[in-house]
């Protein structure tokens, strides 16, 4: 009897070891897929964000007036335009990722061309904001010299806006088929080109604003041209079959998904901009705003890493849903969430350990550094929440649930976060700290709601929805205007 009991215990331990070993292999395999997507995506975002920051540094050495004018355009108008363009491009991310998983390769190039049409029209509709920037800032009460210079700089951003139309959508297209390594390294190369050109044009040739803005334009279009060469040069043979008039058909479902995608991301980006706007109305808040701007810089850089996890979450979920594998999609979300939280905990602990000393990296003013030390806990909390919120948003994008995220953002950010921030900041006289606490409450609530939605998601139902969406948009070879060229590509 004792021998039998020992035998059964041994078999039980052996079974547990096999299960543990199998789980470890699955986690390791999924982690490799995650980082294969996340690292290039992070590299691309850091490079693109770095281009704007470096331009600001070069312009800041011209004069305070130039820096103020550039900052106004970048923080308000450019953020607004990027939010819309990048947000609408996530529709391409959803459709291309699911199409790749479903092996509907020929549809990916068509989705890309449809996104170009929609984003070109949208960007053109945004042009009046940049053409009449001076008048808009004058109405908002800005100083006439700053408004005039900002209006001049805004015109230089128009070629950059049109580069976003192609660079953002092509990035989503390549990510969906796991070819975003190219985008990461090209973006890093464009950053180096931008630094070199900025140094030559601004410091050596003394071209001022035209030199700094020309460097951004060249760097931005360098990425786009390289991406065009990659696609048209035959490196995407399964997914790019040439231009087709089929891109002009079935635009309404793409427009609907694009609008919800744009709204989702814009609500995120504008939320952070509103913090700065509200802080500007506080009395005698120069020190507090300086400290708070340092916090936002730190959060922005950490957010670039989290964007990599957002992209990997979106791509992995969309690919698996396209394949029809609900369990793989669910497992991927779990692994990415755990990985991202570990990264978030690390940076959160780093902020808590360093405390206000982080401020010395940006400024030597003792008052600002002292005030920053009072914001350390909120800074650490923001860094940690980034790691959760990004992954859950990415999972929603992969499933094509942008509308749901937009509704959650409206409720959490604009119905809860901002009113509570105003109450704490101005009614209870907690000023900048109160505004930030209230708005952090909105982020916490959003993360909890997204976590609940993700946890209770029926992934088999999401597989069915993805299949229905793809089949509805699928064009048979006989329905395409360039049938012959597609048939040649398929053969």
Q: Cβ(400)–Cβ(465) under 8 Å?
A: yes
Q: Which two tokens stand for residue 378?
A: 């909120």
C-alpha angle with apex 464: 463 to 466, nearest 5 degrees?
65
Question: In the predicted model, is pLDDT for residue 114 greater than 90?
Answer: yes
- Distance from the Cα of residue 395 to its chain's centroid: 13
Whether the predicted pLDDT of 270 surpasses 80: no
Average pLDDT, the chain: 84
User: Residue 226 CB: number of other CB atoms within 10 A?
Assistant: 19
pLDDT band for 477, please (50, 70, 90 cuts): very low
Higher model confidence: residue 29 or residue 1? 29
Q: Which residues of 312-337 are buried (b: 16+ CB within 10 A; e: fewer)?
A: bbbbbbbbbbbbebbebbbbbbebbb
What pLDDT is recorded for position 352?
Answer: 87
Which stretch of DSSP H or E encloses residue 177?
A: none
Place of tokens 């802080």: 279
Taking every pair of C-alpha atoms in the chain, what is the biggest distance, in angstroms? 94
Phi and psi at residue 178, in whole multiples of 5°?
A: 60, 40
**Six-digit token string for 293:** 């701007």
Q: List, for residues 44-94, the tens digit of each pLDDT value.
A: 888 888 898 888 888 877 877 887 788 788 877 888 888 888 888 888 889
- Write out the DSSP string of 166-215: HHHHHHHHHHHTT-THHHHHHHHHHHHHHHHHHIIIIIIS---HHHHHHH
Q: Each residue of 120-170: pLDDT tens digit?
A: 999 999 999 999 999 988 887 777 888 899 899 999 999 999 999 999 999
pLDDT of residue 4: 56
- Structure tokens, 100: 């790749």
pLDDT of residue 479: 44
Q: What is the pLDDT of residue 481?
A: 45
Model confidence pTM above 0.95: no
Model pLDDT, residue 304: 80
Q: Binning pLDDT at 50, 70 and 90, where does residue 188 land? A: very high
Q: Does residue 276 surpass a pLDDT of 70?
A: no
Question: For the chain, how far is it from start to end, CA to CA, in angstroms?
Answer: 67
Length, in residues, of the chain: 491
pLDDT score for 214 = 95
Distance, in Å, from the CA atom of 414 to the CA atom of 422, rounded to the nearest integer, reads: 11
Task: Report the percentage of the chain scoring pLDDT > 90.
Answer: 38
Does the pLDDT of residue 363 top 70, yes or no?
no
């Amino acid at each position: 009897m004792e021998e039998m009991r020992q035998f059964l215990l041994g078999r039980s331990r052996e079974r547990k070891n096999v299960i543990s070993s199998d789980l470890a292999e699955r986690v390791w395999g999924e982690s490799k897929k995650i980082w294969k997507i996340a690292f290039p995506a992070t590299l691309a975002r850091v490079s693109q964000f770095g281009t704007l920051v470096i331009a600001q540094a070069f312009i800041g050495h011209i004069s305070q007036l130039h820096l103020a004018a550039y900052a106004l355009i970048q923080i308000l108008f450019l953020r607004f335009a990027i939010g819309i363009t990048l947000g609408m491009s996530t529709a391409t991310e959803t459709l291309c990722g699911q199409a790749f998983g479903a092996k509907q390769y020929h549809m990916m190039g068509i989705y890309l061309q449809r996104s170009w049409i929609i984003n070109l029209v949208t960007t053109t509709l945004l042009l009046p904001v940049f053409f009449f920037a001076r008048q808009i800032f004058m109405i908002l009460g800005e100083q006439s010299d700053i408004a005039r210079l900002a209006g001049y700089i805004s015109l230089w951003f128009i070629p950059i806006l049109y580069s976003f139309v192609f660079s953002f959508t092509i990035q989503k297209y390549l990510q969906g088929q796991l070819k975003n390594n190219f985008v990461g390294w090209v973006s890093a190369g464009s950053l180096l080109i931008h630094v070199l050109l900025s140094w030559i044009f601004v410091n050596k040739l003394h071209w001022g604003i035209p030199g700094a803005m020309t460097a951004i334009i060249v760097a931005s279009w360098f990425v786009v041209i390289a991406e065009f060469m990659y696609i048209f040069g035959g490196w995407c043979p399964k997914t790019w079959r040439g231009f087709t008039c089929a891109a002009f058909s079935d635009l309404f479902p793409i427009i609907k998904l694009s609008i919800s995608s744009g709204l989702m991301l814009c609500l995120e980006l504008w939320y952070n901009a509103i913090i700065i706007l509200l802080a500007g109305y506080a009395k005698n808040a120069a020190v507090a705003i300086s400290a708070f701007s340092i916090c936002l810089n730190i959060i922005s850089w950490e957010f670039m890493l989290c964007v990599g996890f957002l992209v990997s979450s979106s791509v992995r979920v969309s690919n698996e849903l396209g394949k029809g594998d609900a369990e793989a999609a669910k497992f991927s979300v779990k692994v990415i969430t755990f990985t991202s939280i570990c990264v978030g905990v690390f940076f959160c602990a780093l902020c808590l350990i360093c405390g206000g000393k982080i401020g010395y990296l940006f400024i030597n003013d003792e008052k600002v550094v002292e005030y920053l030390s009072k914001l350390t806990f909120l800074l650490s909390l923001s860094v940690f929440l980034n790691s959760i919120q990004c992954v859950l948003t990415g999972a929603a994008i992969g499933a094509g649930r942008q509308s749901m995220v937009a509704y959650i953002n409206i409720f959490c950010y604009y119905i809860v976060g901002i009113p509570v921030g105003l109450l704490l900041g101005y009614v209870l006289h907690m000023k900048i700290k109160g505004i930030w606490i209230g708005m952090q409450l909105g982020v916490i609530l959003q993360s909890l709601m997204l976590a609940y939605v993700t946890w209770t998601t029926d992934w088999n139902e999401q597989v069915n929805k993805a299949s229905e969406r793809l089949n509805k948009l699928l064009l048979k070879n006989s329905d395409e205007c360039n049938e012959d060229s597609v048939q040649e590509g398929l053969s």
